[in-house]
Structure 1
Amino acid sequence: MLEIRDLHVDYGGVQALRGLGLTVCEGETVALLGNNGAGKTTTLSAVSGLVKPAAGRIVHEGEDITKTAPPKIVARGVVHVPEGRRIFSTLTVHENLLIGGYLVRDGAELTRRVDEVYELLPRLAERRTQQGGTLSGGEQQMLAMGRALVARPRLLMLDEPSMGLAPLMVAAVMEVIKDINLSGTAVLLVEQNAKAALKIAHRAYVIENGESVLEGTATELSADSRVAEAYLGGAA
């Protein structure tokens, strides 16, 4: 579904990605692990067209999208939920979801998609008339994911969805991501909570200084002493 080949991204002469390569297959959840500044967010931004690589290729379903504009990437079914949720705080939950379907021209179809999100995330249905800014952090994250789902993504990219959330809400958000994947949507997940990410991922990559230094199944990386020491509190 997605293949990144020898990707290089520079910010003002500083190399953020140095020959990164990774793949996401149909129906997979793939986690990107690494410390702050490793290049995880840059990877998602490059795929979604928000930053332009200096070299390398991004291939989606057999087509090179390296230089494709962000709206066209969304139209292909690649949807990015950025770090920090970035919902519209003064709009209601329902209005936020409608914005997720800005490419949908059929009003009845848009209504069906929003109703599907409410079915998956009943907490949003209960709060549909509330302003987004009045929701809890976990509810705002669910709203950000729900808004993305209205676009019917084939690949959903999530950047730090558990950031700032209480442990119980982290578990709830991860369960939603698992359900999204089980419904047939591939997921590329950037997450500093490696333990939570590896519980729901099929495979994972560890990124350091803009390069992939480890990759494998979630089970393999959970048992790897290097991953345990750096990201799992020292216990494989």
Structure 2
Amino acid sequence: MRLTLDSVDLFYHRVHALRELSLVVEDGEIVSLLGNNGAGKTSTLSLISGLVKARSGEVTWGEHDLTRMRPWDMVGAGLIHVPEGRRIFSTMSVHENLLLGGYLVDDAQLVRDRTEHAYELMPRLAERRNQQGGTLSGGEQQMLAVGRALVSGPKLLLLDEPSMGLAPLVVKQVMEVIEAINAEGTTVLLVEQNARAALKIAHRAYVLESGRVTMEGPASELAQDPKVIEAYLGV
């Protein structure tokens, strides 16, 4: 299903966070949103998942009008948001955290199968399955947050800064997991300040500045654009 934002305006009181924002994520793509702090990247994900409401514009996902859906109904439909900061349950075990991803899934066997699949994709979680979430490393906690989302059965996965604070080797592992999830058919909208890592795995990308799209195109082309290189790739 195609995700479409059409001329969206979002305000936080008097702060105009998104300005006539329009973008498209096609079924099966990885699309990355790039931009500096305050550009509107997290606001875009929060808008899509119903955490904030637009003042104007349309947000649709297939036949769903996301501006009229409740967040928990979106989860049931397969729109899953992994927020910045991981937000795992620190006093619960890895396994218990994963099972919570299936809270809205009625089929217990399906939840077990998805949990085992998360362990297959991220073997480190399997090694830590009885360990409290709060004792995991930052990279392991990020894997756990992604794994919990997988148990929900995502069709569209929103990821907010999955590489934040992680060592380069762990960033590589996280990006490989995202690619594997996408290869299995899940559409991904990725917000990421590590532009180099994001552009390496994305099909297309948008650059946001002050709530507006200022550049867009195939990720491979944006990675070669002098403006992107200067602003985001540190070359």
**What TM-score do you get using the length of structure 1 for normalisation?**
0.98
Rounded to whole Å, the distance in 1 between the matches of 2:63 and 2:110 is 28
- Per-residue deviation, residues 23-80 of structure 1 (Å, max 9, x unmatched): 1111100000000000000000000000011111110013311121100111111100
Query: 1:173 maps to which residue?
Result: 174
**Across the two proteins, how many residue pairs are aligned to each other?**
234
Give 1:194 shift. 0.2
Rounded to whole Å, the distance in 2 between the matches of 1:111 and 1:219 is 38
Query: 2:48 maps to which residue?
Result: 47
Secondary structure in 2 matching 1:23:
strand
Unaligned runs of 5+ in 2: none
Q: Is the contact made by 1:30 and 1:187 (CA closer than 8 Å) also made in structure 2?
A: yes
Rounded to whole Å, the distance in 2 between the matches of 1:154 and 1:176 is 16
Secondary structure in 2 matching 1:161:
coil
Q: Is the contact made by 1:59 and 1:65 (CA closer than 8 Å) also made in structure 2?
A: yes
**What TM-score do you get using the length of structure 2 for normalisation?**
0.98
Q: Is the contact made by 1:34 and 1:206 (CA closer than 8 Å) also made in structure 2?
A: yes
Secondary structure in 2 matching 1:75:
helix
RMSD (CA atoms): 0.7
Q: Is the contact made by 2:49 and 2:66 (CA closer than 8 Å) also made in structure 1?
A: no
- Residues 1:30 and 2:31 aligned together: yes
Q: Which has the higher mean CA deviation after the structures are superposed, 202-211 or 103-112?
A: 103-112
Query: 1:112 maps to which residue?
Result: 113
Give 1:107 shift. 1.6
> Identity percentage over the alignment?
63
In the alignment, residue 53 of structure 1 is paired with which amino acid?
A
Query: 2:95 maps to which residue?
Result: 94
Secondary structure in 2 matching 1:216:
strand
Rounded to whole Å, the distance in 2 between the matches of 1:175 and 1:109 is 24
Rounded to whole Å, the distance in 2 between the matches of 1:36 and 1:87 is 23
Secondary structure in 1 matching 2:116:
helix
Query: 2:154 maps to which residue?
Result: 153
Q: Is the contact made by 1:88 and 1:96 (CA closer than 8 Å) also made in structure 2?
A: yes
Q: Is the contact made by 1:91 and 1:132 (CA closer than 8 Å) also made in structure 2?
A: yes
- Per-residue deviation, residues 120-176 of structure 1 (Å, max 9, x unmatched): 111111110000000000000000000000011011010000000011101111111
Q: Is the contact made by 1:48 and 1:78 (CA closer than 8 Å) also made in structure 2?
A: yes
Rounded to whole Å, the distance in 1 between the matches of 2:129 and 2:184 is 23
- Residues 1:136 and 2:129 aligned together: no
Rounded to whole Å, the distance in 1 between the matches of 2:215 and 2:90 is 38
Query: 2:7 maps to which residue?
Result: 6
Rounded to whole Å, the distance in 2 between the matches of 1:175 and 1:200 is 8
Give 1:105 shift. 1.5
